A and B are shown apart, each in its own frame.
Chain A
């Protein structure tokens, strides 16, 4: 490189940022996803790296596409799939994937049932995901240590090959519960070394779950009365103490059931209804839940 290209006019990183549309996406992420601070900061870091990389490319510095394969670990209902979808959009707006679609698969979609069935199946999925993001949910099921004749290993091998050879075409995200994913990666060192970003999704606090609940209710054009609000906070507190609590997913299910009870109540009421009544979830719609009747 000659000396004068190195002394170019300073590059405007804010202009590049504005132009890339990342700002809008990150903002949307902040608005629509409650909590998840470590996840958001990581996404911002990745976005910053991609942006800087793009500027470096513009002035002719050596750039190499950063390792974008990721692993998302965290409990059920902590937003792994939702964030993966956003990730696809972010990567697209930065020009690192061309189409920005998300192909979500599990073991069933990759692993075949008999010899010679796995490779074509896995390749088919990889082809579908090209130009976008391949999201492998509960990825640890791919590898079954106790059965050495399991076909999952073959799927992993083909995935590795595609991750290496089609780096420009494909971003793979592995997702699952933390402890099992750790075991999965430690038994597949080749995979671990090719996955550059490990992001851990923390469980939500009760306050965050409440905010999530309100967001969901508002999206469905409902609203809580003050009493219902208190009842729902109580519901979350009780539900969290119970087994099989699945964070935001449990909240969504609870709202679904509250809507059922609300509809039922209105139906029993009969007569003329106002728009307001159709929108309002009362405390009794929540307090009728099994969670409150059980002693705990």
Chain B
């Protein structure tokens, strides 16, 4: 099941050229880019690992494409996203965020029920991929 988080996730995967153009747009708006990765696809997992520090003062997308290439090389079986942060006073939030790398095999989620007090049913979703240890996650 394809994880749909961030912008463009309902579209087919962007090509590198398209990613470059999106990043250039962000840089032209003075939004510094950061790269993050994780292998926990849960939608409420908002704290992904940082891949290096956020990249300030860049003008050209080529520099970030180089970093993306490096990140993909190191974590080919992880979700990787780029975030563009708008630091303007009054906004100060992520302006654009999209996934640029995902595992070849995304097993999806299951629904779990839990019996609480007084026959109350609690529901939760759990990623199948978390059932296996981190090292072997997503390997097909």
- Chain A residues in the interface with B (C-beta under 8 A): 98-99, 101, 126-128, 130-132, 166, 168-169
Contact = CB atoms under 8 A, between A and B. Distances in A.
Nearest to A165: B66
Contact of B59 (A126, A130, A166, A168): A130
A127 B67 CA distance: 10
Q: Which of A98, A126, A131, A168 has the most CB of B within 10 A?
A: A131
B57 A128 contact: yes
Contact of A132 (B60, B64, B66, B67): B60
Contacts of B64: 127
B50 interface: no
B62 interface: yes
Contact of A128 (B63, B66, B67): B63
B55 interface: yes
A219 B106 CA distance: 65
Nearest to A99: B59
A128 B59 CA distance: 7
A166 B57 CA distance: 19
A-side interface mostly: loop
B84 to A, nearest CB: 16
B58 interface: yes
Interface string B1-35: 00000000000000000000000000000000000
A130 B24 CA distance: 12
Nearest to B28: A99
Interface string B35-65: 0000000000000000000010111111110
Interface residues on B, range: 10 to 19
Contact of A101 (B55, B59, B63, B67): B59
A166 B62 contact: yes
B-side interface mostly: helix
A173 to B, nearest CB: 17
Nearest to B60: A131
Contacts of B59: 99, 101, 128, 130-132
Contacts of A99: 59-60
A168 B66 CA distance: 13
Closest 9 CB pairs of A and B: A131-B60, A127-B63, A169-B62, A130-B63, A130-B60, A99-B59, A130-B62, A128-B57, A131-B59
B57 A131 contact: no
A101 B59 CA distance: 8
A42 B64 CA distance: 33
Contacts of B63: 126-128, 130-131, 169
A217 B61 CA distance: 41
A221 B34 CA distance: 46
A128 B64 CA distance: 10
A126 B61 CA distance: 13
7 contacts: A127-B55, A127-B64, A127-B66, A128-B57, A128-B58, A130-B60, A166-B66
Interface in B64-93: 64, 66-67
Contact of B58 (A98, A130, A166, A168): A130
A126 B60 CA distance: 11
A166 B62 CA distance: 9
Contacts of B62: 98, 130-131, 166, 168-169
Contacts of B58: 127-128, 130
Nearest to B62: A169
Contacts of A168: 62
Contacts of B60: 98-99, 130-132, 169
Contacts of A131: 59-63
Given A131-B61, A131-B63, 19 more contacts: A98-B62, A99-B59, A127-B55, A127-B58, A127-B64, A127-B66, A127-B67, A128-B57, A128-B58, A128-B59, A128-B63, A130-B62, A130-B63, A131-B60, A132-B59, A132-B60, A166-B66, A168-B62, A169-B60
A101 B58 CA distance: 11
